[in-house]
Each structure stands twice: as structure tokens, then as C-alpha cells.
């Protein structure tokens, strides 16, 4: 039987949210901000009489009903009745709370489920909100949650100067091995702000989400399962290309394809590379929307056979290298504005630099590059500037 852990929200709710009594509260949350009994934080706060003055919604909206990179407007939260300020609007300035939205608050409560990858924007939303709150004298209380893909493995290098974006605002490895509170504390140590944290009780770094006894609630529209979260540190790279990353299917990031791909050639080439913990199955699939919407396309399905051995970023590098090697110019890099940045290619923002793209285009050794990144990631693990909470 899975061991039950207590997330920060469980611990706050256990004493009726007494720590918030008499305070004017701002609440940054989303659809996955639920307790272990599946009660949403807005209902817990309402039932406990917490005075929620304003809510803040991250990318995908406060109820995670908006697709990727879709601007979310202002609205009213139906349970608390509080107005909602969007922290993912039409421009980069919308990513942090405005001073007037924080005015009159005593505390900003943050409860967001992260999935353990640098690209996933909730860690930056939490950090930007905490920094903005600190600047106007509002305390931040962050309710921590486990890293669902574990806190042991670290993979990838750090974002290089000139390649900052909303998928890499601060120097983190691609798979960072931290909880959201640890990420925000690490950023706070860099930026000079502090947050109060209500940590998870009973979580150990080696635990995966399905070992916690906690329910999985998808934190964004295309993160339906733990399997999705596991492959995401490698397969989110596909967003920077003309390949489908499986959006518009029931297995986003686990299905990769395009109209020019022979699925059998690609699967054989990838399986021949002997990557640990992963097998590739040839498939045809038809996305209902997004890239190739309504078309049947060829590609591969990812099957993780050993999650402890699996290296998702390395798999993503090899997949892109294999597609370039087999299908040449069929693979194209996305040129549209990506996460509010228009003067850098999306793939470079995702990689955190331009070197990986050049290696792939030149038919170079992606494993040599991956090993360089691993050295960076291990140095980060040794030097990270968060306060340790978990064994």
C-alpha cells in the first residue's frame, strides 16, 4: 500500500486554517490545488471562513481550462466570490501581480502543483508573485507539494545568458529534482526575498507521486497522468519544432509524429540506440486539434520500461537527432513567438542555449553534449541555494 503523505494544504486545513484567521488573503492556485481528500483550496478556505480578498490564476487559468500559451483574462472565482487577476495575459508584464492587486493583502497563499521540469511555468509564477509581494511588504505562505517525478534525479544543464524566457527565467536544470517551495527558495536566495513554507510531511526525495497515497489531479490540460510528467522533461522539446507533441490526443508528450515520418523507420532507429528505460513503438495517430489537427500522421509512442533508469532529456535529444538524420529538412524549428520571446528560436529557449540545435543540425554527438549538461546539473545539485526540507 502506498504511503500517505500530508501536503502543505492538508496541514493547513487540519487546524481549520487558523494561521490565516483575521487576515486579508490573496490566493494563487489552480485546478490541482486540492487536499488529499480532493477538496479544492477555495472550498477549504470558504468553509473555514478565510477572508479571500483576491485570487490569482497562473498559465492555463485558475481552473486549468485554457490551452498552452493562451492569454487568460480577468474573471471572478465562483467559490470564494473573489476577483481573479490573471498572471498569464497578453504580454510579459502580465506574469507578475501588479502592486495594486496586492494592495490591502496581509498574506499571499500559494498552492500550485509543479511537475519537476524547468519548462513548466508554475515555479516561475510562484517566484514572480512572491517577489512582487515582498516588494510591497506582503508575506508569502507557500504550501508545498511533492515533486511527482521524484527529488533524486537531476538532468540537463542550466539556462545560458541571453536565453531567459518563461520556460527558463532562472538557472535551473531541465529536471531539477526540487519541490516548488525549494525552487522558490532557491530563486529567493538569488533575488533577495523570502517566503514562509508549510512543507510536506512524510515525503522523501526518492518517492514518486504514486508512492505518496495522494490523488493525481492534472495541473494543466495536457498533463493527464504521472506517465506524462515523466516524459515531459524530454518531450516538451517537441514544442520547439514542427512535430506534433501529441496535443489533441489522449497521450500528450507520449506520442510524437509528423506527416513526413515513417513510424517504423523511426522506431527502429531509436530502439537501436539502446537508450535506458525506454522503448519506442511505431504508431499512426490523428490529433483532434493543434499541429496536424484532423490528419493521420506517423510517429512513435514512448513506453517507459524502467523509470529509475530512464533519462527523458537524453531521449528527447536522441529523438530529434534521429528525425533530423532520417528525414532531413522535414524537421523544422519553430519560428513563431514563443512564451513572449520573438528574437530567439523556441527550441533554443527550451534547451537554454543554441548549442544543442547546432549539434543536432550538424549530425554531432548528442550524448557528448548530454554528458556536459550532466556535469552542470550535478554541480547545481551540490550548490543549490534552497533550504533543505526533505531527506
Residue 72 has what pLDDT? Answer: 58
Residue 3 has what pLDDT? Answer: 56
Q: pTM above the 0.85 mark?
A: yes
Q: Say which residue the cell 514563443 belongs to.
A: 338
Residue 70 has what pLDDT? Answer: 60
Fold of 226-353: 3.90.1150
CATH 3.40.50.12170 segments of the chain: 8-215
Residue 289 has what pLDDT? Answer: 95
Residue 1 has what pLDDT? Answer: 39
Residue 67 has what pLDDT? Answer: 61
| CA atoms 372, 378, 383, 385: torsion sign | positive
Q: Say which residue the cell 537524453 belongs to.
A: 314
Q: Say which residue the cell 522523501 belongs to.
A: 204
Which parts of the chain register pLDDT below 70? Answer: 1-3, 64, 66-74, 385-388
CATH 3.90.1150.140 segments of the chain: 226-353
Provide the terminal-to-terminal Cα distance of the chain, rounded to the nearest Å.
21
Give the residue from 313, 366, 373 showing the smallest Cα distance to 157: 373
Residue 74 has what pLDDT? Answer: 64
Q: Which residues, including other chains, have CB under 8 Å from residue 311's CB and lie 6 or more apart?
A: 155, 234, 275, 276, 277, 370
Q: Which residues, including other chains, have CB under 8 Å from residue 18's CB and lie 6 or more apart?
A: none
Phi/psi of residue 139, nearest 5 degrees: -75, 145
Give the residue from 293, 302, 288, 304 showing the smallest Cα distance to 258: 293
Fold of 8-215: Rossmann fold (3.40.50)
Amino acid at each position: 500500500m502506498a504511503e500517505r503523505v500530508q501536503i502543505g494544504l492538508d496541514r493547513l486545513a487540519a487546524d481549520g486554517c487558523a494561521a490565516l484567521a483575521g487576515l486579508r488573503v490573496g490566493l494563487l492556485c489552480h485546478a490541482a490545488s486540492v487536499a488529499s481528500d480532493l477538496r479544492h483550496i477555495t472550498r477549504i478556505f470558504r468553509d473555514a471562513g478565510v477572508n479571500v480578498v483576491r485570487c490569482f490564476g497562473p498559465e492555463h487559468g485558475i481552473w486549468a481550462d485554457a490551452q498552452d500559451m493562451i492569454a487568460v483574462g480577468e474573471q471572478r472565482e465562483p467559490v470564494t466570490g473573489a476577483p481573479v487577476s490573471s498572471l498569464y495575459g497578453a504580454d510579459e508584464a502580465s506574469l507578475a501581480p501588479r502592486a495594486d492587486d496586492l494592495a490591502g493583502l496581509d498574506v499571499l497563499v500559494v498552492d500550485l502543483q509543479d511537475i519537476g521540469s524547468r519548462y513548466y511555468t508554475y515555479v516561475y509564477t510562484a517566484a514572480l508573485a512572491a517577489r512582487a509581494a515582498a516588494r510591497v511588504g506582503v508575506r508569502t505562505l507557500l504550501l508545498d507539494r511533492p515533486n511527482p517525478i521524484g527529488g533524486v534525479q537531476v538532468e540537463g544543464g542550466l539556462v545560458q545568458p541571453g536565453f531567459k524566457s518563461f520556460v527558463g527565467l532562472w538557472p535551473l536544470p531541465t529536471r531539477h529534482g526540487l519541490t516548488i517551495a525549494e525552487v522558490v527558495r532557491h530563486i529567493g536566495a538569488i533575488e533577495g526575498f523570502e517566503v514562509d513554507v508549510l512543507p510536506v510531511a512524510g515525503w522523501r526525495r526518492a518517492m514518486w507521486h504514486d508512492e505518496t497515497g495522494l490523488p493525481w489531479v492534472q495541473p494543466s490540460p495536457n498533463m493527464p497522468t504521472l506517465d506524462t510528467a515523466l516524459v515531459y522533461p524530454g518531450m516538451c522539446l517537441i514544442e520547439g519544432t514542427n512535430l506534433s507533441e501529441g496535443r489533441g490526443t489522449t497521450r500528450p508528450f507520449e506520442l510524437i509524429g509528423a506527416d513526413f515520418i515513417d513510424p517504423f523507420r523511426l522506431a527502429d532507429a531509436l530502439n537501436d540506440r539502446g537508450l535506458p528505460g525506454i522503448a519506442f513503438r511505431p504508431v499512426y495517430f490523428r490529433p483532434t486539434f493543434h499541429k496536424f489537427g484532423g490528419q493521420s500522421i506517423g510517429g512513435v509512442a514512448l513506453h517507459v520500461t524502467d523509470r529509475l533508469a530512464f533519462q527523458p532529456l537524453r531521449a528527447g535529444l536522441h529523438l530529434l537527432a534521429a528525425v533530423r538524420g532520417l528525414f532531413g529538412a522535414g524537421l523544422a524549428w519553430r519560428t513563431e513567438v514563443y512564451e513572449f520571446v520573438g528574437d530567439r528560436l523556441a527550441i533554443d529557449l527550451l534547451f537554454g542555449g543554441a548549442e544543442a540545435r547546432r549539434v543536432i543540425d550538424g549530425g554531432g554527438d548528442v550524448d557528448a553534449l548530454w554528458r556536459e549538461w550532466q556535469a552542470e546539473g550535478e554541480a547545481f545539485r551540490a550548490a543549490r541555494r534552497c533550504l533543505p526540507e526533505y531527506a
